[in-house]
């Protein structure tokens, strides 16, 4: 058996594309108020028969979009967080473990989400101010770092990461990884760090920017493995790189969530690879193993939301990996 490389089977649920941030590289955000109906969410949950993770992704603080609050009230909700919590509960009813990426959150908001999620996430992106975030109040590094730290105080298994190629230099990448490492050393709650490459999107301010090279990506993975504590997994998104093998050789050991029923709505031009193709690309050196949205270490520690405990116990084996 080779070195274990993990992944999660998920269904991607983009609850809204409204967002207060105006990142220069984002092709996901839209101005028109929009919010998935419960029936739309439920239809995707029904389709995800083989998945164990419900990945909730949406724009940050969509209530700041003109017309969004009216839309929310028409659907019967006083706050967007109440709506998200209802969708988390719906996923649990369908036998799926929620993992929510909600942007910058307060301690109270994190506390409300914690019981109904296996884990939570927030990309740091970079721990420095960048021009591409000049119109994005939620991308202030200090705000994102505060959210990650608050999650640590609350002992929430957490996913974060850095985005490469958005105007930072190598020192910025190193510094950002060091910031994440320091937070984990203090709280011990970071389960994985994603090393993600920027992909230019049409009709954005950065549509003509170059992508980070393979060499830059591999160097960043190697740096991450050197800087981050050993119990923190390093993820590379398998739909955003041509071949995962060199990244695994460089120190990555997770391939993130892969969906059989939904695309990557953030990068719709990049389809998920088939599991059979991934297995072939690993050779004899690595073994692909399914995990839950909460990592094996935290499964064993029972460090996940109280409302998902029964599902985690059903789905996990004695080592904390997915059972079937």
- Location of structure tokens 């609050």: 69
Tokens 């939301």: give the residue.
305
What average pLDDT is seen over the chain?
96
Confidence band for 283, pLDDT divided at 50, 70 and 90: confident
Q: Which string of DSSP letters, residue by residue, matches 160-202?
A: EEEEESSS--HHHHHHHHHHHHHHHHHH--EEEEEEEE----T
Work out the angle between the directed axes of helices 141-153 and 170-187 (0-180°, nearest 10).
Answer: 20
Residue 281 has pLDDT above 90, yes or no: no
Name the percent of the chain lying above pLDDT 70.
Answer: 100
Which tens digit of pLDDT belongs to each residue from 89-137? 999 999 999 999 999 999 999 999 999 999 999 999 999 999 999 999 9
Give CA–CA dist 166/168, Å, rounded.
6
Lowest mean pLDDT among 116-130, 213-227, 277-291: 277-291
Residue 227: pLDDT above 90?
yes
The structural domains of the chain, ordered by start, are 3-315 (3.20.20.70)
Average pLDDT over residues 217-224: 98
Taking CA 50 as the corner, what is the angle to CA 314 and CA 36, rounded to the nearest 5 degrees?
Answer: 105
> What's the pLDDT tens digit per position in 247-273?
999 999 999 999 988 999 999 999 999
Q: What is the pLDDT of residue 279?
A: 87
Instruction: Summarize pLDDT for 26-64 with one digit per residue, the tens.
Output: 999 999 999 999 999 999 999 998 999 999 999 999 999
Q: Does the predicted model carry a pTM greater than 0.75?
A: yes
* pLDDT score recorded for residue 26: 97
């Amino acid at each position: 058996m080779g070195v274990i490389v993990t992944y999660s089977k998920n269904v991607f649920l983009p609850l809204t594309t409204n967002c207060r941030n105006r990142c220069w590289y984002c092709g996901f955000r839209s101005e028109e108020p929009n919010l998935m109906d419960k029936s739309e969410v439920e239809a995707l949950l029904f389709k995800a028969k083989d998945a164990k993770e419900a990945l909730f992704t949406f724009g940050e603080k969509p209530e700041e979009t003109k017309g969004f609050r009216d839309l929310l009230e028409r659907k019967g909700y006083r706050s967007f967080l109440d709506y998200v919590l209802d969708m988390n509960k719906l996923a649990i009813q369908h036998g799926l473990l929620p993992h929510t990426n909600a942007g910058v959150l307060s301690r109270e908001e994190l506390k409300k989400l914690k019981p109904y999620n296996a884990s939570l996430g927030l990309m740091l992106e970079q721990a420095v101010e960048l021009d591409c975030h000049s119109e994005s109040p939620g991308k202030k590094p200090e705000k994102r770092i505060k959210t990650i730290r608050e999650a640590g105080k609350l002992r929430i298994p957490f996913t974060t990461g850095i985005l490469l190629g958005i105007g930072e230099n190598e020192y910025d990448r190193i510094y950002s990884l060091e910031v994440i490492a320091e937070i984990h050393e203090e709280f011990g709650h970071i389960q994985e760090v994603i090393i993600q490459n920027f992909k230019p999107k049409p009709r954005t301010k950065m549509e003509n920017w170059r992508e980070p090279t393979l060499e830059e990506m591999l160097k960043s993975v190697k740096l991450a493995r050197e800087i981050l504590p050993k119990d923190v997994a390093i993820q590379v998104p398998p739909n955003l790189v041509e071949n995962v093998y060199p990244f695994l050789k460089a120190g990555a050991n997770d391939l993130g969530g892969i969906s059989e029923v939904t695309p990557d709505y953030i990068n719709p031009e990049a389809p998920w690879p088939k599991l059979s193709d991934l297995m072939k690309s690993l050779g004899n050196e690595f073994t692909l193993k399914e995990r839950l949205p909460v990592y094996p270490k935290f499964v064993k520690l029972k460090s996940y939301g109280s409302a998902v405990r029964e599902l985690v116990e059903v789905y996990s084996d004695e080592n904390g990996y997915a059972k079937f």
